[in-house]
Chain A
Amino acid sequence: MHPPTRFALANAEGEEMQFPPDGPVLLALVKEDCDTCNLTLPLLEAVHRATEGGLDVWVAVQKRDDIAVLKDRHDLTMPLLDDDALGLSYETDIDTVPTLFLYDEEQNCTLQTFGFDKHEWREIAGESMALAGRSGTDTAIDWESLPEQRPGCGARNYEPGIYERLQALKSGDLLSRLVDLAASDDIHEFMYEQGYTDGFPVVPPTRERVWKMLQGTQRDPQEEVAVMPPNLAPITVEKIAINAVMAGAKPEYLPSIITLVEIACTESFNIHGVLATTMGATPVGVFNGPIRDRIGMNYLHNALGSGNRANASIGRALRLCARNVGGSVPGGTDRATQGGPHRLTMNFAEHEDASPWESLAVERGFEPTDDVATLLAMSGGPATVADERSRDGRGLAGTLALSMSCMQDPKSPMVDTLVVLSPDHAGIFGRSGWSKDDVRECIMEETAIPLKDRLRSDDAGCGLPPDIVERFGGEAALDMPVSKFRDKSNIILVVAGSPAAKFSTILGGWAGGAYSLPTSAKIGV
């Protein structure tokens, strides 16, 4: 609470009144729907009448329409000021009404109080009389009839929604252009027509919402996070926050979204290629660490699907950043031939407790207590692998291998396949004592077919060019087994989903390995 030094507000007659007036003044801030304000307004009026000519009593009312109501209800003659915009309340940072400030003739605030404390109010009334040059303390107030104490009420400037609006209006941190809408505009139609959306409605990024979103991070709104392809546009924390609001995210998701933007724009992940490719790849986010529960991510039922706000909006926010800041628009630099529903959003948390192995993040060099996001560029799937019969690791790895052998096409060697094991399938590997590498090696072996069957032929044009045989040592190599995967590290294993079902999911990576590498980073603040 800071006693105001200077302000101008209109009185009930609409005339502007400049604060401070000449001489001592008692300033009060009140609202109509507050019992304590209604208890104390007659006391302020009594002080006003007893000190008139020697001291001003000004009452700022937090709602314009309440001025006339209070004036009639309590037969008030002292000036009632219009603080409907709550500018004075905000600057003064009052959280309770009534709040009183008493200023002497030098405009120094000598006493202040909030709520109703009889002792303090008597002191202020007495001091007001003294400052007005009145002898005695007889303000005609029957103090004996008043209660000892009454708590005040919450000030309007701290009400939910209003507080954020005031902060946003006063904040000089937001630099984005304000887009004005006509009264006749439908906001959702307008935003779609401007090309701001992914086809679904978005949450309008008002100043209040963006300000509130920015409270989710400690980073400066104007900090440049990355240069966003394909337009190579600098992207600031504020721009990410705007798109996060549109995606439906909560402020506590913002650090995760910023991290995904940082990862996406690295040379190794290469979001430029991922979003431009005709093959229709998309960034898939996998989350590890305590943040999964802290922000309520889903790794149980429908973990890869709909229904969870964090999973859905974090991935969507990244896509909206790429669209609105990066300029990746389908038919423009987004050249996906067909794309897929996971290009809207695909983002989930690993069910670490259901995994017999270390998590994806730990495997990639992080601590179990680190909050980590990993982005993978995926174009194929999600495809279900159903195996309700296998009871040991060998059988299940064989099923996975057969399912994975046809990804992209049955002949071409593949890179980076994401295998999302259900807890039941993961449990089978755990009980069989299989490590991640055991699973990978078995899949490498089981997907190996003779080189000649990986070559293009007249009855299937896909596969490796025939002249590649020379690189393998000529005709003698035709029967050499060649795995579907170039390296076992290309098989990425994570666990997610609910228990009691033996279904897993595979997602095929995008084209050749170095095009986009799985990339991880710790989530910041």
Chain B
Amino acid sequence: MVTQILDPTDERVPIKRSLTPRPEALHGTIALLDISKPRGDVFLDRLEELLHERAPGVETRRFMKPTVAKPAPQPIKDAILEECDFVIEALAD
């Protein structure tokens, strides 16, 4: 009878990260990240319109991944972190 096996996984303990505290209200700059999926721009255009309408104080800034197939390049992640207070990512189709 088999009593011991070797662990086939990477065995790394996931780092626990807590969510950033949710703010009471929108303020500052919101990053709108298009991952280059078809119609992501349509979704973000409408969202941007609604944000400007309902949260007039906030600014929006658009970002776009060069390809849907790979994770966002570090400079895009850095820019969002540096220049924005929030990020909304338009995922998938």
A positions within 8 Å CB-CB of B? 174, 176-181, 183, 187, 191, 196, 204-207, 210, 228, 231, 233-235, 238-239, 242-243, 246, 270, 272-273, 277-278, 320, 324-325, 327, 335, 511-512, 514-516
Contacts and interface: CB of A to CB of B under 8 A. Distances in A.
B69 A239 contact: no
A255 B47 CA distance: 51
Given A174-B6, A235-B10, A238-B6, 12 more contacts: A181-B2, A181-B3, A183-B1, A187-B5, A239-B10, A242-B8, A277-B69, A325-B8, A512-B67, A514-B69, A515-B68, A515-B70
A327 B10 contact: yes
A264 to B, nearest CB: 14
A514 B36 CA distance: 14
11 contacts: A176-B11, A177-B7, A177-B11, A181-B2, A204-B5, A206-B6, A239-B10, A273-B69, A278-B93, A324-B8, A515-B68
Given A239-B10, A278-B93, A273 B70 contact: yes
Interface residues of B, number: 19
B77 to A, nearest CB: 14
A122 B2 CA distance: 46
Q: Chain B: interface secondary structure?
A: loop
A288 B86 CA distance: 51
Contacts of B6: 174, 176-179, 205-207, 210, 238, 242
B70 A205 contact: no
Contacts of B4: 178-181, 206-207
Nearest to B9: A324
B12 interface: yes
B47 to A, nearest CB: 21
Nearest to B70: A273
Contacts of B75: none
B12 to A, nearest CB: 6
Interface of B: 1-12, 67-71, 92-93
A320 B10 CA distance: 12
B7 A320 contact: no
Contact of A205 (B3, B8, B93): B8
A234 B92 CA distance: 28
Nearest to A281: B69
Contact of B7 (A179, A278, A516): A179
B9 A181 contact: no
Contacts of A234: 10
B5 A278 contact: no
B69 A515 contact: yes
B3 A231 contact: no
A243 B8 contact: yes
Given A205-B8, A239-B10, A180 B3 contact: yes
B10, B12, B70 — most chain A CB neighbours (10 Å):
B10
Contacts of A191: 5
B3 A278 contact: no
Closest 7 CB pairs of A and B: A273-B69, A233-B10, A515-B69, A177-B7, A176-B6, A324-B8, A242-B8
